[in-house]
């Protein structure tokens, strides 16, 4: 397993290099000139030249690419063009708020989805099973904005259980007061497709010979479900989770905007509006690294869940 992990880490290098080149190309040849964004519409040529020199954009592409690579290696992307705050400090101070939202969403969504999938699969073909699948189809057809409006109106304005906006410096207050509403919203939105997918994974395992053998040996239905079926269904479930995580992070970023949570997502959206390229470049590179590490950890988890899996 160590050899496989080392090989995968080496394989990440060309992938990350491709991401870096793509970000560098988009930064220089797609979209508006960052100097025009910073200088304003009526800036003098002298001011434009000064800003271009300060940003290092008057140097050759090779030098600028070398500076970008050095920033990635040292995790030092300089300062925000609009606020003057260090990019590293932005991520260090906004990351706790993002994790306060993303970790509960991830834990609740996939734990509840797995439990419900097992429960629904145990009564497969029944009226309950069909009713839940119809409900999932209806839930998946509703727009994200409708969920936001209804959840905020019901739990914030109508019932007054949670505030719509706000954040504090205390983790306990955030988890009990400000985070429940966006977490509930995300879980309700993602639970329907997760349940449908996990139900399919569980039902696929029900048709295998080892399930019939376990029943023939006298194993109870709960034991068959929890010991045999669940263990084998965890492999595709983990694969689904690894593929869904980037989308989950993007969804959490949108929630930060809707609920005014001072996390990385709201900072990134604001950076896009302001044309704050150091923050944008750092966010893209960090998310690419995170996605590759998640894929590696998922592959290693396959081996832990099912020893029959061979990592090659």
Q: Which two tokens stand for residue 84?
A: 């003057």
Q: Which residues neighbour 81 within 8 Å (Cβ) at sequence distance 6 or greater?
A: 34, 38, 55, 274, 275, 276, 277, 278
The 3-class SS string of the chain reads: CHHHHHHHHHHHHHHHHHHHHHHHHHHHHCCCCHHHHHHCCCCCHHHHHHHHHHHCCCCCHHHHHHHHHHHHHHCCCCECCCCCCEHHHHHHHHHHHHHHHHHHHHHHHHHHHHHHHHHHHHCCCCHHHHHHHHHHHHHHCCCHHHHHHHHHHHHHHHCCCCCCCCCCCCHHHHHHHHCHHHHHHHHHHHHHHHHHHHHHHHHHHHCCHHHHHHHHCCCCHHHHHHHHHHHHHHHHHHHHHHHHHHHHHHHHHHHHHHCCCCCHHHHHHHHHHHCCHHHHHHHHHHHHHHHHHHHHHHHHHHHHHCCCCCCC
Sequence spans of domains, the chain: 2-74, 87-305
Q: What are phi and psi of 295, to 5 degrees?
A: -65, -40
Q: What are phi and psi of 79, to 5 degrees?
A: -115, 155
pLDDT of 36 reads 64
The CATH code that applies to domain 87-305 is: 1.10.3720.10
Q: Which residues neighbour 170 within 8 Å (Cβ) at sequence distance 6 or greater?
A: none
Cα separation of the two ends of the chain: 9
**pLDDT in tens for each of the 312 residues of the chain?**
677 677 777 877 888 888 888 887 877 776 666 666 666 666 667 666 776 776 677 777 788 788 788 888 887 777 787 777 888 888 888 888 888 888 888 888 888 888 888 888 877 778 888 888 888 888 888 887 888 888 888 888 888 888 888 788 888 888 888 888 888 888 888 888 888 888 888 888 777 777 777 777 777 777 777 777 777 788 888 888 877 777 777 777 778 888 888 888 888 888 877 777 888 888 888 888 888 888 777 777 777 766 666 666
**pTM confidence score:** 0.77
Q: Which two tokens stand for residue 294?
A: 């998640």
Torsion angle in degrees (nearest 10) through CA of 39, 41, 43, 45: 100
- Residues 136-181: pLDDT tens digits? 888 888 887 888 888 888 888 888 888 888 788 888 888 888 888 8
How far is it, in rounded angstroms, from Cα 238 to Cα 174?
Answer: 29
């Amino acid at each position: 397993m160590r050899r496989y992990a080392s090989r995968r880490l080496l394989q990440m290098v060309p992938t990350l290099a491709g991401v870096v080149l793509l970000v560098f190309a988009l930064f220089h040849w797609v979209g508006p000139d960052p100097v025009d964004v910073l200088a304003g519409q009526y800036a003098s040529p002298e001011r434009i030249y000064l800003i271009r020199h300060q940003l290092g954009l008057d140097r050759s592409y090779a030098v600028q690419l070398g500076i970008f690579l050095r920033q990635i290696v040292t995790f030092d992307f300089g300062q925000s063009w609009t606020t003057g705050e260090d990019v590293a400090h932005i991520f260090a101070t906004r990351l706790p708020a993002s994790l306060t939202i993303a970790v509960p969403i991830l834990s609740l969504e996939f734990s509840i989805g797995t439990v419900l999938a097992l429960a629904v699969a145990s009564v497969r073909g029944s009226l309950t099973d069909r009713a839940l699948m119809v409900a999932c189809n209806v839930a998946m057809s509703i727009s994200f904005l409708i969920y936001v409006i209804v959840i905020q109106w019901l739990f914030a304005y109508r019932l007054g259980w949670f505030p719509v906006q706000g954040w504090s410096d205390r983790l306990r207050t955030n988890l009990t007061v400000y985070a429940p509403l966006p977490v509930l919203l995300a879980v309700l939105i993602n639970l329907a497709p997760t349940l449908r997918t996990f139900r399919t994974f569980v039902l696929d395992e029900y048709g295998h010979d080892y399930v019939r053998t376990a029943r023939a040996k006298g194993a109870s239905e709960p034991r068959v479900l929890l010991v045999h079926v669940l263990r084998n269904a965890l492999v595709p479930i983990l694969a689904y989770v690894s593929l869904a995580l980037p989308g989950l992070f993007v969804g959490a970023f949108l929630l930060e905007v809707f609920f005014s949570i001072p996390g990385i997502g709201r900072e990134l959206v604001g950076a896009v509006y302001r044309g704050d390229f150091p923050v944008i470049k750092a966010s893209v590179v960090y998310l690419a690294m995170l996605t590759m590490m998640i894929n590696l950890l998922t592959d290693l988890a396959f081996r832990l869940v099912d020893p029959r899996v061979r990592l090659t």
